[in-house]
Amino acid sequence: MTTPGKTASTPPAPVTEVSTHCPYCALQCGTRLHGDREVGVRARPADFPVNRGRLCQKGWTAPDVLTAPDRLVRPLVRGPDGRLEETSWDTALDLVAERLRALRARHGPDAVAVFGGGCLTNEKAYLLGKFARLALGTSQIDYNGRFCMSSAAAAGNAAFGVDRGLPFPVGDLRDARTVLLAGANVAETMPPLVHHLDRAELIVVDPRRTATARRATLHLQPVPGTDLALALGLLHIAVVDGLLDRDYVQRRTLGFEAAARRAMAWWPERVESVTGVPASAQREAVRMLGRAGSAYVLTGRGVEQHSQGTDTAAGFINLALALGLPGSGRGGYGCLTGQGNGQGGREHGQKADQLPGYRPLTDAAARAHVAGVWGVAPDDLPGPGRSAYELLDALGGDHGPRALLVFGSNPAVSAPHAAHVVERLASLDLLVVADFVPSETARMADVVLPVTQWAEEEGTLTNLEGRLLRRRALLPPPPQVRSDLLVLRDLAVRLGEPPSRYPSVPREVFEELRAASRGGKADYSGISYERLDTGECLHWPCPDTEERHPGTPRLFLERFAHPDGRARFTDVDQRGPAEKVSPAYPLHGTTGRVLAHYQSGAQTRRVAELSAAAPEPFIEVHPDTAARSGLADHGLARVTSARGSMTARVRLDPTMRPDTLFVPFHFPGDGRANLFTHPALDPRSGMPEFKVSAVRLDAVPEATP
Ligand code: SF4
C-alpha cells in the first residue's frame, strides 16, 4: 500500500527529527535532534526520566562534532614518506588483512590485539568481541572501560553477585533524605543528575572543594588515597553508635563480623590522623546517613581509580550494608558509571575476561552457550587476556602483541603513564584506528578507518541504571564513512570468516546478542528494538519469558544475586597508594574532569563553545603551595612524578588541600595529566592508580616576549 500522493518508487523523505541520546556520559540524557547537514543539526533536551528536560553544555553542543572541520571522511594509509594519505576502502582493508595474516602466521593469534571503548554501542561491542575471538582467534582484547568503573564492578560482583552501576532508577534518588557521594563530582560530570538530588542532604567525600562539594551539607576532604580508611572509620562509628541495622544484617548478609572487626581498628581519631577528616565530621556523616530513613551511598572514579579501588568500593558497600540500605526499597548503594556505554560495553564481550551476557570466559557452561550461538566449538574460544593497561604495556614487546586495532578509544591521552604507552604504540608493526576524528592515537596509526558517529547510526546503549536505550540516526554518514559493524564484517571476511557470521545491520546484531545473553547475568533476551521503540522502559535482566518480562528496574528487593540470596561484606583494610609522597615528590597529584570536556577531549576539544569555556589544561593548587614553588596565579609550572612531567598554568584555589594539586585529564601534548599518573594496578580489577601520584611542582621560566 502507498501513501496517497506517493508512488511505490518515491524515495523515503529524509528524517528531519529523531529522539535519541547524548553521545557522551553514562547518564545518557534523552535528546531530540533536528536539522540536516545543510542547515546544521541542533539538539534540545527531551523529557526523559534521567534528565527531565535538561542537558549539560556538552549535550547541547554535541552536534558540532558532526561537522568538525577535520572529520575523518576517507580511509588513510601511511605512505613511504611517513604521511597519512587518502586511499580506498578496499586498499585499506586489504592491507590490514594481509598484514594481520602475516603477523598471526609468524607469531600466533595473540600477536594481534584489540582495544575497544565504552562509547561503542552494544552491537559494536558485541561484534568486536566476537571478531577478536573468532576472526582473529586472539585472547588479547580489552577496552577503556577498564579505566572507568572496573573496581566498582569487581566490588559489586563480590558483594551482590552482580554488577550494575545503579541497581535502581536514577529517579529513586529524589526520595532520598541523605546521599553520600564518594569521589563523584556530578555537578560537573553529570549536571542533570543533580536535580534528582535537590531534596537530599549531601555528604561529599572529595579532596577538592568541587562544584558538587560546594552544594553539600557536609564536605569530607580526605588526603588522596585514604578513602578506604575513611570508609572503615564510618563503619566503625555506625557499629559503635548503634546505627547498625542488625535485623537486615542478620537476614540478608554474610561476613559482617570479619568486616566489623577490621573496622574496630579504625576509631575516629585514628582515621582523622590518616585522612585529615575531623572525627566530628565523620560522626556527623554517619548520623546523617543512619537517621535519614532513606539514604544512598554512591561512589565514583575519585575513590575507585586507585590500586586499592576495589577494596575502597567494597568499604563503602560495607557501610551501606551495615545501615541496611541495598535492596531495602529505602536506599541503596550504586556506582556512577562514567562512559556512555561503559555498562553495556563490558556486558557483551569486549572485556578481556567476559563473554556476552556478563558471562565469565573461564566458565565451561558459559563458553558452551556462546560457542553454540556463534556456531563454533567451545574450545575454539580463546581464554582471558590481559587487562587494558597490561595490554598496552605489552605492545611490541618480546611476548606482546605486534598489531593493535583500536575502536573508539584514545589511549595516547587517556592511559596512565602516557609517554610509555605512546612509546609502546610506536613500537608496533601495525596500528589500525577506527574513529571519526583524528585523535592523538589515530594520528600515530598506520591505517585510519573513518567510521560513523552517534547521529549517523542506529543501535542500543545501556545507561548507568542498566536501562536499554535506542540510539537513532538523523543523518546518513558522509559518503566514504562506514559503520564499525561493516568494517568488522569486511575485515573478518578477508580473514577467511563466513560473511553470514558477521551481521552488519544493528538490529540483526542485537537479535544475536539477545540469544548470546540468554540466561546470563545481563540477560537481554526479552528485549527487542520493537519493545524499545514503543517507549517501554526496560532494565536488564529481562529474560525472554512467555509473559512479556517487564525488565528489572530495581535489583535486590527480594534477594541478592548470590546463590543463597545474601549479600557479602568484604574484609578490607587500608593499604594506601602504591607511591608515597617523599622529599623529592612532596605533593599528591590527582586528576579528573571539568564541566566542558569529556574523557580524552578528542570530541569536546573540537567544539568551539566548549574549547572557549575550557581552552587549556591547568594546575589547581593552594596559594601557599604555589608560593613555595615561587608561583603566582597563572604562572607557568611543571608537575613532575617519577614517570614524567606535564606543563600548564597554575590556578590558585584557597579551598585546595595544601598537600594536593589537581590537573584535568582532557588535554594532549605537554599538558597531558597522564604524563605523571601511576600505572600501578588494582590486583582484582586491573584499574590503574589515576587518582594519586607523588609529584612535585616547579615554576617554569617564561620566555621573554
Ligand atoms: Fe547528559 Fe552526560 Fe550528555 Fe551531559 S554529557 S548531556 S550529563 S549525557
Q: Which atom of ligand 1 is nearest to the CA of 60?
A: 6
Dig out the grid coordinates for 39 from the structure: 542547515
Dist. CA 210 → ligand 1 center (Å): 18
Dist. CA 542 → ligand 1 center (Å): 26
pLDDT value at residue 13: 65
Q: Which atom of ligand 1 is nearest to the CA of 193?
A: 7
Dig out the grid coordinates for 577 from the structure: 597508594
Q: Summarize pLDDT for 152-190 with one digit per residue, the tens.
A: 999 999 999 999 999 999 999 999 999 999 999 999 999
With cell 533476551, the residue in question is 525
Average pLDDT of span 590-612: 96
Q: Which atom of ligand 1 is nearest to the CA of 25?
A: 2
pLDDT value at residue 704: 64
Measured by CA distance, the residue closest to atom 2 of ligand 1 is: 25
Hey, which of 190, 195, 336, 471 would you mutate to test ligand 1's pocket, going by the most ligand atoms within 8 Å of its Cβ?
A: 190
Average pLDDT of span 573-584: 97
Q: What residues contact residue 272 under an 8 Å CB cut-off, 6+ apart?
A: 278, 279, 282
DSSP secondary structure of 383-451:
-----HHHHHHHTTSTTS-SEEEEES--HHHHSSSHHHHHHHHHT-SEEEEEESS--TTGGG-SEEEEB
Residue 251: how many CB atoms within 10 A of its CB?
11
Q: Summarize pLDDT for 222-235 with one digit per residue, the tens.
A: 999 999 999 999 99
% of the chain at pLDDT higher than 90: 95
Q: Which atom of ligand 1 is nearest to the CA of 50?
A: 1
Q: Long-range pairs for 505-509 at CB < 8 Å and ≥24 separation?
A: 506/121, 506/123, 506/457, 506/458, 506/459, 506/460, 507/458, 509/123, 509/126, 509/127, 509/485
Dist. CA 213 → ligand 1 center (Å): 20
Dig out the grid coordinates for 556 from the structure: 535486590
Task: Tell me 323's DSSP state.
Answer: T
Dist. CA 41 → ligand 1 center (Å): 17
Dist. CA 20 → ligand 1 center (Å): 12
pLDDT of 510 > 80? The answer is yes
Q: Summarize pLDDT for 297-310 with one digit per residue, the tens.
A: 999 999 999 999 99
pLDDT value at residue 3: 39
Q: Which atom of ligand 1 is nearest to the CA of 22?
A: 3
Measured by CA distance, the residue closest to atom 7 of ligand 1 is: 190
- Taking domain 17-67, whether its CATH number is 3.40.50.10860 is answered by no
Task: Tell me 14's DSSP state.
Answer: P
Q: Where are the domains of the chain?
A: 17-67, 76-147+345-533, 150-336, 587-699
Burial of 246: CB neighbours in 10 Å, binned 0-12, 13-18, 19+: exposed
Dist. CA 302 → ligand 1 center (Å): 19
- How far apart CA 266 and CA 260 sit, in angstroms, is 10
Q: Summarize pLDDT for 536-560 with one digit per residue, the tens.
A: 999 999 999 999 999 999 999 999 9
- How far apart CA 538 and CA 515 sit, in angstroms, is 17
pLDDT value at residue 5: 39
Q: Taking the alpha carbons of 169, 173, 179, 183 in that order, is the dihedral positive or negative?
A: positive
152-166 b/e (C-beta count within 10 Å ≥ 16 → b): bbbbbbbbbbbbbbb
Dist. CA 413 → ligand 1 center (Å): 21
Dig out the grid coordinates for 320 from the structure: 551501606
Dist. CA 462 → ligand 1 center (Å): 14
Hey, which of 21, 25, 336 would you mutate to test ligand 1's pocket, going by the most ligand atoms within 8 Å of its Cβ?
A: 25
Q: Which atom of ligand 1 is nearest to the CA of 340?
A: 8
Beta strands, E only, 22-177: 30-36, 40-45, 76-78, 84-86, 112-116, 141-143
Q: Which atom of ligand 1 is nearest to the CA of 191?
A: 7
Dist. CA 614 → ligand 1 center (Å): 17
% of the chain at pLDDT higher than 70: 98
- How far apart CA 629 and CA 625 sit, in angstroms, is 7
State residue 607 phi and psi, 5-degree precision: -105, 120
Q: Summarize pLDDT for 475-500 with one digit per residue, the tens.
A: 999 999 999 999 999 999 999 999 99
Where do runs of H (alpha helix) occur along 190-339? 191-194, 211-214, 227-240, 246-252, 256-264, 268-275, 279-290, 301-304, 309-322
- How far apart CA 34 and CA 46 sit, in angstroms, is 12
Q: Long-range pairs for 581-584 at CB < 8 Å and ≥24 separation?
A: 581/659, 581/694, 582/694, 584/696
Measured by CA distance, the residue closest to atom 6 of ligand 1 is: 59
CB-based contact 183:336 (threshold 8 Å): no
Dist. CA 26 → ligand 1 center (Å): 8
529's enclosing H/E stretch is helix 529-533
Q: Label each residue of 43-87 as H, E or C.
A: EEECCCCCCCCCCCHHHHHHHHHHHCCCCCCCCEEECCCCCEEEC
pLDDT value at residue 346: 85
Dist. CA 254 → ligand 1 center (Å): 38
Query: What is the rounded average pLDDT for all residues in the chain?
Result: 96
Dig out the grid coordinates for 44 from the structure: 534540545
pLDDT value at residue 568: 98
Q: Domain 76-147+345-533 falls in which CATH fold? A: Rossmann fold (3.40.50)
Measured by CA distance, the residue closest to atom 4 of ligand 1 is: 56
pLDDT of 454 > 90? The answer is yes
Q: Which atom of ligand 1 is nearest to the CA of 23?
A: 3
- How far apart CA 568 and CA 689 sit, in angstroms, is 25
Q: What is the pTM of this model?
A: 0.95
Q: Which atom of ligand 1 is nearest to the CA of 62?
A: 3
Beta strands, E only, 147-259: 178-182, 201-205, 218-220, 253-254
Beta strands, E only, 417-558: 430-435, 447-450, 459-462, 468-471
CB-based contact 103:403 (threshold 8 Å): yes
pLDDT value at residue 702: 86
Average pLDDT of span 358-381: 97
Ligand 1 binding site (Cβ under 6 Å of any ligand atom): 22, 24-25, 27-29, 51, 55-56, 58-59, 190-192
The residues with which 619 forms a beta bridge, in sequence order, are 650
pLDDT value at residue 349: 86
Measured by CA distance, the residue closest to atom 1 of ligand 1 is: 29
- Taking domain 150-336, whether its CATH number is 3.40.228.10 is answered by yes
Hey, which of 22, 33, 186, 465 would you mutate to test ligand 1's pocket, going by the most ligand atoms within 8 Å of its Cβ?
A: 22
Dist. CA 654 → ligand 1 center (Å): 29
Confidence of residue 124 (pLDDT cuts 50, 70, 90): very high
Dist. CA 431 → ligand 1 center (Å): 31
Hey, which of 20, 24, 50 would you mutate to test ligand 1's pocket, going by the most ligand atoms within 8 Å of its Cβ?
A: 24
Q: Long-range pairs for 28-36 at CB < 8 Å and ≥24 separation?
A: 28/340, 28/461, 28/463, 28/464, 28/469, 29/54, 29/55, 29/56, 29/59, 29/192, 31/55, 31/59, 31/62, 33/63, 33/455, 33/474, 34/474, 35/63, 35/474, 36/474, 36/475
Three-class SS state of 640: strand
- Select from 492, 432, 438, 509 the least CA-distant residue to 113: 432
Q: Summarize pLDDT for 12-45 with one digit per residue, the tens.
A: 666 789 999 999 999 999 999 999 988 899 999 9
pLDDT value at residue 12: 61
CATH class name, domain 587-699: mainly beta
Dist. CA 56 → ligand 1 center (Å): 6
Confidence of residue 11 (pLDDT cuts 50, 70, 90): low
CB-based contact 624:637 (threshold 8 Å): no
Dig out the grid coordinates for 541 from the structure: 535482566
* Preceding amide of 541 cis, omega within 30: yes
Q: Summarize pLDDT for 64-91 with one digit per residue, the tens.
A: 999 999 999 999 999 999 999 999 999 9
- How far apart CA 96 and CA 446 sit, in angstroms, is 9
